[in-house]
């Protein structure tokens, strides 16, 4: 079944005559009539009742018309999508990132998108698998380690790891705390496979120090909740919750931080759009957290 013949049939039905349809499509009447007769033979049904040179839809034609109209609409949608792909346009953007990054960085950034941007979707990934999400259909991955060599990417920001204390804590009147002083307090941290914990571990090792009282949690918000109850200092990279006070942690190599990177498939048809969005995300991090997040050490 040729789409051209289906289009001729629909145009005749919508304009009311072969003459009008031929004029609308800039074709001759005989060629339009011939194509419709071939379509009828192919389908094995009469789409029109021919009465003294006039055409009107048969019962079969009335039943087939909405099917034909949907078919042509789907073909048009497919052609439009192909043109958008060829032009590098994205209608949807799937972002893969660890949970904390999704909550504190990606979600606030998505709130700044406009109607001209792709419709976003997010996948919550554990840090070790975030870049492999690109092979599973994600368009943009946000990780805390440099992107693999087979991908394209860019550094986004250095985000601080915070020590959170309630207003009644002895450190609550300060903005920073030295690592050695921090370790004298009970610490409420995430497990070792979370990047804020890894950053803290690396700073402790580099300073040749050791942990004292340490309590692990699988969720950063839970660690903050326990800190709010006065049971210790939560060390996480999340935004503050439960009215906790943040303290920047200074270790042997400066402020303890985690780095964020964006990555995408270099062959992605929307690579230019994805890079532009990643660049906007980097600028958003500066707006949200300040100029100190700009430099990223690889």
Confidence of residue 84 (pLDDT cuts 50, 70, 90): low
What number of CA atoms fall less than 13 Å from residue 279's CA on the CB side? 6
Instruction: Please say if the pLDDT value at position 221 is more than 70.
Output: yes
The strand ranges marked E within the chain are 48-51, 54-57, 92-97, 119-124, 140-143, 152-160, 162-165, 176-178, 187-190, 214-217, 233-236, 245-251, 254-255, 257-264
> Taking 50 as the threshold, does the pLDDT of residue 73 lie above it?
yes
Band the pLDDT of 292: cuts 50, 70, 90.
Answer: low
Q: How far apart are CA 111 and CA 117, in angstroms?
A: 11
Using CA atoms, how far apart are residues 196 and 260, in angstroms rounded to an integer? Answer: 12
Expressed in percent and rounded to 5, the helix, strand and coil fractions of the chain are 45, 25, 35
> What's the CATH architecture for 3-86?
Orthogonal Bundle (1.10)
Cβ-based neighbour number of residue 69 at 10 Å: 15
Structure token digits, residue 174: 């300060």
Structure tokens at 264: 């995408």
Q: Enumerate residues 6+ apart whose C-beta is below 8 A from 247.
A: 162, 163, 164, 165, 171, 174, 175, 176, 177, 182
CATH superfamily of 96-156+260-293: Periplasmic binding protein-like II (3.40.190.10)
* Whether the predicted pLDDT of 296 surpasses 50: no
User: For residues 283 and 288, what is the distance between their CA atoms, to the nearest angstrom?
Assistant: 9
Sign for the pseudo-dihedral over CA of 292, 260, 288, 175: negative
Tens digit of each residue's pLDDT (9 = 90 or more) over 3-39: 889 999 999 988 988 888 889 888 998 988 899 999 9
Average pLDDT for 41-49:
91
Segments making up each domain of the chain, as ranges: 3-86, 96-156+260-293, 162-255
Over residues 66-77, the mean pLDDT reads 86
Q: Is the pLDDT of residue 90 over 60?
A: yes
User: What is the per-residue pLDDT for 151?
Assistant: 96
Check: CATH 3.40.190.10 for 162-255?
yes
C-alpha 129/C-alpha 21 separation (Å) is 57
Crossing angle of helices 3-15 and 59-86, in 10° steps, is 120
Mean of all residue pLDDT scores within the chain: 88
Q: Does this chain's domain 3-86 share its CATH topology with 96-156+260-293?
A: no
Residues paired with residue 115 on neighbouring β-strands, in sequence order = none
Residue 137 · residue 121 · CB < 8 Å = no
Q: What is the structure's pLDDT at 132?
A: 93
pLDDT of residue 208: 94
Direct distance between the N- and C-terminal alpha carbons of the chain, in angstroms, rounded to an integer: 58
Instruction: Tell me which of 28-32, 138-142, 149-153, 222-226 is least confident.
Output: 28-32
231-252 pLDDT tens trace: 999 999 888 999 999 999 999 9
Q: Which of 162, 157, 165, 205 is nearest to 185 (CA)?
A: 165
Instruction: Measure the CA–CA gap between 276 and 273, rounded to whole angstroms.
Output: 5
Q: So what's the pLDDT on residue 258?
A: 85
pLDDT in tens, 176-209: 999 999 999 999 998 877 778 888 998 999 999 9
Query: Is the pTM here over 0.85, yes or no?
Result: no
Confidence of residue 298 (pLDDT cuts 50, 70, 90): very low
In this prediction, residues 105-114 reach a mean pLDDT of: 92
Computed on alpha carbons and rounded to an integer, the radius of gyration of the chain in Å comes to 31
């Amino acid at each position: 079944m040729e789409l051209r013949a289906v289009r001729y049939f629909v145009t005749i039905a919508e304009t009311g005559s072969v003459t009008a349809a031929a004029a609308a499509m800039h074709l001759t009447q005989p060629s339009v009539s011939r194509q419709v007769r071939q379509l009828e033979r192919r389908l094995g049904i009469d789409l029109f009742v021919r009465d003294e040179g006039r055409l009107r839809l048969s019962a079969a034609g009335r039943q087939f018309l909405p099917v034909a109209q949907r078919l042509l609409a789907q073909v048009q949608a497919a052609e439009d999508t192909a043109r958008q792909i060829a032009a590098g346009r994205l209608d949807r953007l799937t972002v893969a990132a660890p949970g904390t990054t999704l909550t504190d960085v990606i979600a606030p950034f998505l709130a700044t998108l406009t109607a001209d941007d792709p419709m976003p979707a997010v996948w919550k990934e554990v840090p070790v698998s975030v870049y492999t999400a690109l092979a599973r259909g994600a368009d943009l991955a946000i990780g805390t380690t440099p992107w693999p060599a087979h991908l394209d990417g860019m550094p986004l920001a250095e985000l601080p790891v915070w020590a959170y204390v309630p207003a009644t804590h002895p450190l609550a009147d300060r903005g920073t705390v030295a690592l050695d002083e921090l370790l004298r307090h009970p610490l409420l941290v995430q497990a070792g496979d979370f990047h804020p914990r890894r950053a803290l571990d690396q700073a402790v090792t580099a300073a040749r120090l050791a942990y004292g009282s340490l309590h692990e949690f699988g969720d950063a918000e839970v660690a903050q909740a326990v800190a709010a109850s006065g049971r210790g200092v939560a060390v996480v990279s999340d935004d503050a919750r439960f009215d906790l006070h943040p303290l920047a942690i200074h270790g042997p190599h400066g402020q303890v931080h985690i780095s964020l990177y964006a990555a995408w498939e270099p062959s992605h048809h929307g690579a230019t759009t994805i890079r532009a969005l990643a660049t906007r995300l980097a600028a958003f991090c500066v707006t949200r957290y300040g100029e100190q997040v700009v430099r990223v050490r690889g």
